[in-house]
Amino acid sequence: SQKPTQEYLLKSKDYNLTYIGNPTDNKLNGDTKIKSSDGNFSLNGTYKDGVLLKGIISLKNDGVEYYLDGEFNDFNIIDGKITIITNDKIIYKEGVFIDNKLDGNGAMRIEDTKTGEILFNYSGKFESDVPQY
């Protein structure tokens, strides 16, 4: 039988966090939600023995929004999608990642936020976020 979901308040260096889940032996396990009180960070994912396996992370920092959705090796995305929104561009990345950079087969598209114009579009092989033409 599984314990009922608990809610905990946590403090980190940068955020006041709310953790919703079921820790086991002081490690995150199963479906877990973590969110900051200011709305600048949220994580909704599945953990096993304290390691993030899959989920969605959203982060807002200095006017830039980051969204990571996929499979993770702890907090590094290894397969999935990353969306980065700045005041003038939206960057979409999808594929295989190493250190949160496209590495292997993937796709990247950059759009102008004001006009919707596609500034860059490539699908194929990447090394450390650099297309390999």
Would you write out the chain's pLDDT as a tens digit for each of its 133 residues?
Answer: 455 566 666 666 676 788 787 777 778 888 888 898 889 999 999 988 888 999 999 999 999 999 999 999 978 999 999 999 999 999 999 999 999 999 999 999 999 999 999 999 999 999 999 999 8
pLDDT for 11: 64
Whole-number Å distance between alpha carbons of 11 and 26: 16
Q: What's the predicted TM-score (pTM) here?
A: 0.86
Whole-number Å distance between alpha carbons of 111 and 132: 20
**Beta carbons of 3 and 22 less than 8 angstroms apart:** yes
pLDDT for 3: 54
The DSSP-derived string for 38-86 is: TSSEEEEEEEETTEEEEEEEEEEETTEEEEEEEEEETTEEEEEEEEEE-
pLDDT for 75: 86
pLDDT for 1: 43
pLDDT for 124: 97
